[in-house]
Structure 1
């Protein structure tokens, strides 16, 4: 499925909903979506519930976005990962890094 996304402003963050496959062909578009969202909000939630495939380039874009957010006092985290996408995030150790904030710990990891 071709990659696409939507950015939905919420009261406390932007929800960046990804659809399709996050791979090398979608990397420039994904990087731009993350960068733009981080420029507009203090927190970005990346919703992966409609992503069927995620490779190392998609992971790289999200980790790079996370590091950029952290350096600028912002937050970036993922939600909705399931199936193969969830497995890849856990296998690479990125699931914990990009986990949503908990009420007790805020956006710290």
Structure 2
């Protein structure tokens, strides 16, 4: 079982949350807390999932909760660098389209 890690990088007006490991039930509370903290800190949040190996429904739920929190503050949350099974989950749930970063922003993450 891969462990879960999250780190944040703050820049003016935005925060990037870099995730690695498994975003599953064991990581649910920490994942949600990290994402909500990022939303509280910046109007735009990028969630880099390049190093995430597994994303289950609890990980999806955390992303949706953070998305709604960001929208409630007139902000945005974007998921970037999804590949493999994580990209498949995002596509199947429709989150790939909902949380897609604008093309001009994808290059900067």
TM-score normalised per structure 2: 0.90
Partner of 2:44: 43
State the 1:38 CA deviation. Answer: 0.9
Partner of 1:106: none
Q: Which stretches of structure 1, 4 residues or longer, exceed 3 Å deviation after superposition?
A: none
CA distance in structure 1 between the partners assigned to 2:12 and 2:103 by the alignment? 17
1:10 aligns with 2:19: no
TM-score normalised per structure 1: 0.90
Q: How do 1:1-109 residues align onto structure 2 when only pairs under 5 Å count?
A: 1-103=2-104
| Matched positions, count | 103
- Runs (5+) with no aligned partner, structure 2: 105-109
Partner-residue secondary structure (3-state), 2:3: coil
- Runs (5+) with no aligned partner, structure 1: 104-109
Partner of 2:107: none
